[in-house]
Amino acid sequence: MSSVVLKNLVKSYDGKKNIIDDINLEIKDKEFIVLVGSSGCGKSTILRLISGLEDITSGSIIIDGNVVNNVHPKDRDIAFVFQSYALYPHMSVYDNIAFGLKMRKFDKKYIDKKVHDVAKSLNLEDLLNRKPRQLSGGQRQRVALGRAIVRNPKVFLMDEPLSNLDANLRVQMRSEIKKLHNELQTTFIYVTHDQTEALTMGDRIVVLDKGKIQQAGTPEEIYNHPKNRFVAGFIGQMNFIDVNVNNHKFLIENVEFETDKNISGSVTVAIRAEKMLSGDKSVTVPVDIVEMTGGERIVYFYLNGNKCTARLPLDYKFESSVTLRINTENMYFFNKDSGEII
């Protein structure tokens, strides 16, 4: 079993502000979990705490049923894949992959077999004699993965491993890492700021903000049932519109809508950009900006003074103004002050 449990985890560098603030999270054996959030939210710090590269301030880290707070990083049986690849530039691909096994004094024949097996699985067999400077970004990333895989660790930690790759290669490597997880059947903890990576790769997603977990759940749960405005806005393309509800009715650009929710006063309504043509009520507004993305167009406009977007098919006709079709079935309602869902 390779479960990882974080209990009341706290990290502070100055004793005043908590970078990680009372995190409680149970990561199941063989689970692929993605920590996602904006820069500075604490996601990479959590990886460093799990790995032992940084000491925790308080709380517990439990790996495979054992508290590892005071266990040296090399004894935690964890592999860390860094954003920068962290390859040894003077070593060949073979020696980079073999390095961890050599440090643990494994037999040369065993090391050679393991390195070649891993190189074959990652399509690196023809590159074993090259140095990192002779490799592309994608090849370097595969070497970094190979160095981690060869040790058969209990847990893989990956800190934004695809952020230095171009868009097409990121898509390719996403599928390769997911395939790798399916083959290895090992626990993966993956950090990214990219919502697409989170949605496509994770069995579960943990959304972080300011050192706190905002929501944890499956990609479907996070996308379709956000608990607060932060999660709704971070995952997917969401529009937020300020409205005033009176007797269950409210206006968007002078078009009346009705809700059966027991709310009144000033609230925030949210509608996803891809749902702006999925209703039966029409709202026509001037177009601000249009972006062509290939298979669709993203149109920017204002609703009740709030900047919004819609993802429209190429054959949807409009000129200086656009007619939207929306309804309350596709709306989320958030408390304007707390940001919590109503």
CB atoms within 10 A of CB 68: 20
Q: So what's the pLDDT on residue 67? A: 96
Q: So what's the pLDDT on residue 152? A: 86
Dump pLDDT digits (tens) for 128-141: 999 999 998 889 98
Q: How far apart are CA 202 and CA 222, in angstroms?
A: 11
Q: How far apart are CA 24 and CA 46, in angstroms?
A: 11
- Token couple for 127: 């590159």
Dump pLDDT digits (tens) for 156-169: 999 998 888 888 88
Mean pLDDT of the chain: 93
Reported as a pLDDT band with limits 50, 70 and 90, residue 122 is confident
Tell me if 249 sits within 8 A of 257, measured CB to CB.
yes
Whether residue 186 has pLDDT greater than 90? yes
Closest CA to 135 of 147, 123, 143: 143
Whether residue 272 has pLDDT greater than 70? yes
Mean pLDDT (whole number) for 81-92: 88
Q: Domains for the chain: give ranges and CATH numbers.
A: 4-229 (3.40.50.300), 239-335 (no CATH)
Alpha helices in 40-123 (DSSP H): 43-51, 93-103, 108-121
Q: How far apart are CA 299 and CA 292, in angstroms?
A: 9
Dump pLDDT digits (tens) for 143-156: 998 998 898 899 99
Reported as a pLDDT band with limits 50, 70 and 90, residue 1 is low
